[in-house]
Structure 1
Amino acid sequence: MWKNKNVWILLTGEFIAGLGLWLGIIGNLEFMQEKVPSDFVKSIILAGGLLAGIAVGPWAGRITDQISKKTVMLASGFARALSVIFMLIAIQTGSVWWMVIFLVFLQISAAFYFPALQAAIPLVVEEKDLLQLNGIHMNVSTLSRILGTAVAGILLVILPLSMLYIGSLAAYLILFAMTWFLNFDESDLTPGTSKGTAKQGGFKEVFPIIKGLPIVLMTLVLTLVPVLFLGGFNLMVINISELQDSSSIKGLIYMAEGIGFMLGAFIVKQIGQKRSPYTILFFFSFIIGISQLLLYFADVPVLTLVAFFVFGFAVGCFFPTAATIFQTRVPKEFHGRFFSFRNMLDRVTFQIVLLLTGFLLDAVGLQIMVVIFGILSLVMTAAFFAKFRQLRTEVQINEKIST
């Protein structure tokens, strides 16, 4: 796997783009903290971009299955770089509306880029290396997040806010250039398979595939648990910073969560050799709920960092396992539409959680909100686990009857 130049291009590109992404995210938080006083209004602004990504999701899935994954990644990468110009205008004019336009363009480009990337990864390495590559890919992303947030914090002190976005623009342009050098075989995806079916319909052809693969359906539903935490992640970070009256805690939170994620993604392959994917998903879904409850003590810096570290470790094991299940169980000719559908599902739930987080932060405060979310996560995990055991029992009964 390590002799494959495509692997190095994907990992290096992810690292550079991640730096640019997190420079932009910290810039967004700083801009909103300065211009928008209400948490709920902040959540509406962030949700506007997500809504645009949801709107183009079905089209993005069909396009990804119809044409080269590399072409989709190039076009969306260029659009992502172009979007930064709108944020520079927002800073120059002080207008939140230009920021909304920036977020809309950014999320539309992401709606195309990430399904194409997820569909391309199984074409780059053999199936036996997928879990390892997914874990490493997510680790590289997390490392770029740690460094990106640290660099952004330093730059905010010594440079104007616009310089963060200049750095972000440079990173996106480097990613665009590196994508040109990707070279993988898509000959198996012939017009009689993916391209033919892609022209006949969209998501309606993916739903029977999902329904016929219980582990895929269960994994899709179970991803709602980490999304319940991640949807309002940035708003919670801002609120914790205000609760503790500390601007430095923001960088420490991202670092603690990032280190936890990297550790989880690093050892998940070893765990996967001893435990089934089901066991990994349900166990770490439970741990995510516990980490949310720990944030009841968000006024204590040490416990705050412990909670985010535990959460990071849990999702570091959860997401590579989920990604590998999707890449190996769903037929490759449906990958574009499936990953686009999954991307849309994530965006819808992110949007709902984001608005709910903003509302609850204004209404009941951070500490009551995380207790509500933590209990909800544990209840959802228990309900999904009970349903899974019921399905497994039914399958075993049917197998005995058929024999």
Structure 2
Amino acid sequence: MWKNRNVWIILSGELIAGIGLWTGIIGNLEFMQEKIPSDFVKAMILSVGLLAGILVGPLAGKIIDQQAKKRILVLAGAGRLISVVFMLIAIATGSVWWMIAFVVSIQLAATFYFPALQAAIPLVVKDDDLLTMNGMHMNVATIARVSGTALAGVILVYWSLSSLYWISIIAYGLLLIFTFMLRIDEGEGTEAAVKAEGAKGGFMEVFPVLKAYPAVGMTLVMTLIPLLFLGSFNLIVINISEIQDSASIKGLIYTCEGIAFMIGSFAVKRIALKWRTTMILFFFASMVAVAEFLLFFAQSQIATLAAFTVLGFSLGCFFPTAMVIFQKQMPKAYHGRFFSFRNMLERVVFQVVLLATGAFLDIVGLQVMVIVFGVISISMTTVFFLQMKQRKIQLEEPVIAESIIPVKSI
């Protein structure tokens, strides 16, 4: 796998672009903290971008399955580059409306970029390397997150807020150059047959495929559990910073969570040798709830960092495992539409969680909210586990299917 130039291009591009992405995210939080006092209004602004992604998701999935993945990645990368200009205008004018334009445009670009990238990875590595590649890709993204947030913290001390977005522009420009260097063969052999038979259908064809592959459907539903924490992540970080009256805690939280994520994504390959896929998913989904309960002690820096460390390690084990199930068991003809549907579903959940988080923080405060979220997470994990046992779904059994929906489900 490490002799494959596409692997190095994808990972290098992710590192550079991730640094730009996270410097921009910290810039967004800083801009909103200055301009918008209400947590609920902050959530409303962030949710506007998610709504745009939800509306475009079905079209994005269909286009990704019908067009070359590289072409989609290039166009989406160019869109991300252009979107940063809106944020520079927002800073220059002090206008929240220009920030909303930035949030919407960058989410639209992401609606095409990430499903196309997830669909491209199985085309550039062998099936046996998917767990390693997914883990490394998420690790690189996490390194970029830690580096980007640390860099943003230094820049905000010594330079202006707009400097963060100039770094984003440089990073997205480099990503575009790396994307042009990709070589993805989609026109020969099996992949051509897959595209001919499956890619012409509409977005709604994802649903009978999910019914035919219940392991994929169950894993998709399982990924909603961590979203309860992830959807509220940035607002929680801001709130903890205010509770502890510490600006530096933001960087410490992202660093602890990021390092723990990397350790988890390395450890999961060894864990997978001893634990079944089902145990990995359900155990680490439960640990997300434990992290939420720990935030009841948000006044304590040690408890806060412990909570985000548990979260990071759990996600580092959970998401690479789930991604392998999606990439191996979902027919390749439906990858674009499936990953677009997944991203659209995540955006819906993110939007609901964002609005709920903003309202909870304004009305009852962080401590009550994290207890409610923890109870919801552990309840969902229990219900999904019982459903899986009742329906006798086996997550460990890979299904090899490339072109058509099977007659019988697993």
- Which letter does structure 1 place at the counterpart of 2:134? N
For 1:206-245, list aligned pairs within 5 A.
Answer: 206-245=206-245
Which residue of 1 is the match for residue 401 of structure 2?
A: none
CA distance in 1, matches of 2:8, 2:166: 25
Match of 1:31 in 2: 31
How do 1:353-392 and structure 2 match up within 5 A? Answer: 353-392=353-392
Partner of 1:401: none
Structure 1's unaligned 5+ residue stretches are 396-403
**What is the aligned partner in structure 2 of residue 198 from structure 1?**
199
| Residue of structure 1 equivalent to 2:45 | 45
The amino acid across from 1:336 in the alignment is G
Q: Secondary structure at the match of 2:177?
A: helix
Alignment of 1:288-299 (within 5 A): 288-299=288-299
Q: Which moved more, 1:327-336 or 1:273-282?
A: 273-282
Following TM superposition, by how much is the alpha carbon of 1:275 offset from its aligned partner in structure 2, in angstroms?
1.6
Q: Cα deviations across residues 373-402 of structure 1 (Å, max 9, x unaligned)?
A: 00110011011111111122899xxxxxxx
Work out whether 1:136 is the aligned partner of 2:136. Answer: yes
Give the 3 Å change call, closer, same or farther, for CA 338–24 of structure 1 in structure 2: same
Cα deviation code 1:315-344 (max 9, x no counterpart): 000000011100000011110000000010
- CA distance in 1 between counterparts of 2:8 and 2:347 reads 29
Cα distance between partner residues in 2 of 1:259 and 1:367: 25
Q: In the alignment, what sits opposite 2:65?
A: 65
Aligned to 2:283: 283
Contact preservation (8 Å) 1:9, 1:178:
yes
Could you tell me which amino acid in structure 1 is paired with residue 195 of structure 2? S
Query: How far apart, CA to CA, are the structure 1 residues paired with 2:152 and 2:386?
Result: 44
Superposition pairs of residues 180-199 of structure 1, within 5 angstroms: 180-186=180-186, 187-188=188-189, 193-195=194-196, 197-199=198-200
Structure 1 counterpart of 2:229, which letter? Answer: F
Please give the residue correspondences for 1:247-262 in structure 2 after superposition, counting only pairs within 5 Å: 247-262=247-262
| Structure 2 residue matching 1:206: 3-state secondary structure | helix
Q: 1:224 & 1:193 partners in 2: Cα distance? A: 29
CA deviation profile, 1:90-109 (whole Å, cap 9, x unmatched):
00000000000001000000
Are 2:29 and 1:12 aligned? Answer: no
SS of the equivalent of 1:199 reads: coil
Structure 1: distance between partners of 2:274 and 2:246? 42
Query: How far apart, in 2, do the equivalents of 1:105 and 1:23 lie?
Result: 17
1:201 CA drift (Å): 1.6
Contact 1:77 1:109 in 2 (8 A): yes
Between the aligned partners of 1:384 and 1:88, the Cα distance in structure 2 is: 44
Q: 2:216·2:329 contact (CA, 8 Å) conserved in 1?
A: yes
Report the Cα distance in structure 2 between the residues aligned to 1:215 and 1:67, rounded to whole angstroms: 27
Deviation at 1:118, TM superposition (A): 0.2
In the alignment, the residues of structure 2 paired with residue 276 and residue 58 of structure 1 have an alpha-carbon distance, to the nearest angstrom, of 33
- Secondary structure at 1:141 match in 2: helix
Structure 2 match to 1:337: 337
Structure 1 108/21 Cα, relative in aligned 2: closer, same or farther at 3 Å? same
**What letter is aligned with 1:198?**
A
Query: How far does the alpha carbon of each residue in 1:5-61 deviate from its partner, in whole angstroms, 9 at most, with x for none?
Result: 000000000000000000000000000000000000000000000111111101100
State the distance in 1 between where 2:72 and 2:12 align.
19
Aligned length: 394
Shift of residue 192, structure 1, vs aligned partner: 5.3
* Residue pair 1:232, 1:353 contacting (<8 A) in 2 also: yes
Once residues 199 and 212 of structure 1 are traced to their aligned partners in structure 2, the CA distance between those partners, rounded to angstroms, is: 19
CA distance in 1, matches of 2:13, 2:328: 24
Matches of 1:196 and 1:126, distance apart in 2? 22
Instruction: Give the stretch that moved more between structures: 191-200 or 263-272.
Output: 191-200
Deviation at 1:3, TM superposition (A): 0.4
* C-alpha spacing 1:394/1:233, structure 2 compared with 1 (3 Å): closer
- Does the CA contact (< 8 Å) of 1:66 and 1:195 recur in 2? no
Equivalent residues of 1:51, 1:347 under 8 A apart: yes
Note if 1:99 corresponds to 2:99. Answer: yes
In 2, distance between residues paired with 1:115 and 1:184? 15
What's the CA shift string for 1:290-315, capped at 9, x where partnerless? 11000000000011000000000000
Decide whether the 8 Å contact of 1:67 with 1:195 is kept in 2: no
- In the alignment, what sits opposite 2:81? 81
In 2, distance between residues paired with 1:19 and 1:118?
19
Q: Which residue of 1 aligns with 2:405?
A: none
In structure 2, give the amino acid aligned to 1:39: D
Following superposition, the deviation at residue 200 of structure 1 comes to 3.3
8 Å contact from structure 1 (residues 231, 349) kept in 2:
yes
CA RMSD of aligned residues (A): 1.3
Take 1:51 and 1:367, find their aligned partners in 2: how far apart are those partners? 28
Give identity over the alignment, percent: 59
Offset at 1:215? 1.2
TM-score if structure 2 supplies the norm length? 0.94
User: Residue 261 of structure 1 contacts residue 313 of structure 1 at CA under 8 Å; is this kept in 2?
Assistant: yes
Q: For residue 22 of structure 2, what is the aligned residue in structure 1?
A: 22
Matches within 5 A, 1:169-188: 169-186=169-186, 187-188=188-189
Shift of residue 197, structure 1, vs aligned partner: 3.7
What's the CA shift string for 1:223-242, capped at 9, x where partnerless?
11100000010000000000
1:196 shift after superposition: 5.1
Q: TM-score, normalised by structure 1?
A: 0.96
Q: State the distance in 2 between where 1:149 and 1:189 align.
A: 42
| 8 A Cα contact 1:189 1:195, kept in partner | no
Matched-pair contact (CA < 8 Å) for 2:197–2:333: no
* CA distance in 1 between partners of 2:208 and 2:105 (Å): 32
Question: How big is each residue's C-alpha offset from its partner over 1:95-131, in whole Å with a ceiling of 9 and x where there is no partner?
Answer: 0000000010000000000000000000111000000
Query: Residues 375 and 5 of structure 1: is their aligned pair in 2 closer, same or farther, counting only changes over 3 Å?
Result: same
Equivalent residues of 2:281, 2:318 under 8 A apart: yes
